[in-house]
Homo-oligomer: A and B are copies of this chain.
Amino acid sequence: MDTSIASAVREVIGESGYGGLTVDAVAARAGVSKAAIYRRFSSKQEMTFAVLLHDVDQQSPADTGSLRGDLVALIEQITAHLVSPGAGTLSGLLADVRADPNLHARFDSTFLAVERAIITEVVDRAIERGEVANRPDPTVVHALILGPLFAWLIVLDEGTAGVPALIELVATTAADALTRDLLPAATP
């Protein structure tokens, strides 16, 4: 049943946008009752969060042999998570997550925490290689690599054509900042 709900959520968003996503529409599309959905999720926002963000499989990128190469792979992976739900859906979901403290806490403890752990792994590889001296605050690295892509796609709405060049640029500037030890240190 979970798979049919997940598919229904994606299909309804694809056809009607995030604004058109309702539990009614998802129930009808999935061929289940609304009660069946509410037994699993307490709200439309919980359902959407679970389908689009919580169950995303985030893994560390393979070791490319350099910090800059690892960052390109990691930023490509983060960008894919921004592109796949669609910019309108992501901004709507972000607004809902921000409006609900419980959802926001879960967003942080699941989705964002996994990304921070992956960032720490990529930086630790660079420390082992001797490319980076000190372990920086992973949230600052997160802001540096996620931010320009989020701004480009979601705030400025510039589309995907310029994304590969932007990823290369952001990987270069972030790798330089890490190599030059410009970031605040991780709190122990």
Interface of A is mostly: helix
Contact indicator per residue, chain A 160-177, by CB within 8 Å of chain B (1) or not (0): 001001100110111011
Measured in the bound complex, the distance between the Cα atoms of B165 and A156 in whole Å is: 24
Copies in the complex: 2
List which A137-170 residues lie within 8 A (CB) of chain B.
Answer: 139-140, 142-144, 146-152, 154-158, 162, 165-166, 169-170
| A148: B residues at CB distance < 8 A | 143-144, 147-148
CA distance A166 to B95 in the complex (A): 24
Residues of B within 8 A of A156 (CB): 112, 139, 142-143, 146
Contact residue among B99, B147, B151, B172 (Cβ-Cβ distance under 8 Å from A88): B99
Contacts of A158 on B, CB cut-off 8 Å? 139, 143
A166 touches B140 (CB 8 A): yes
Bound: A143/B112 CA distance, A: 21
Given A99-B19, A177-B173, answer yes or no on A155-B91 (Cβ-Cβ < 8 Å): no
A99 touches B94 (CB 8 A): no
A166: which B residues are within 8 A, CB to CB? 140, 143
Q: In the complex the two chains form, what is the Cα distance from A37 to B143 in whole Å?
A: 39
Chain A positions 85 through 115: 1 when the CB is less than 8 Å from some CB of chain B, otherwise 0: 0011001101100110000100010001000
A172 to B183, CA, bound (A): 11
Contact A183 B169 (CB under 8 A): yes
Q: Does A184 contact B (CB under 8 A)?
A: yes
Q: Is A31 an interface residue (CB 8 A)?
A: no
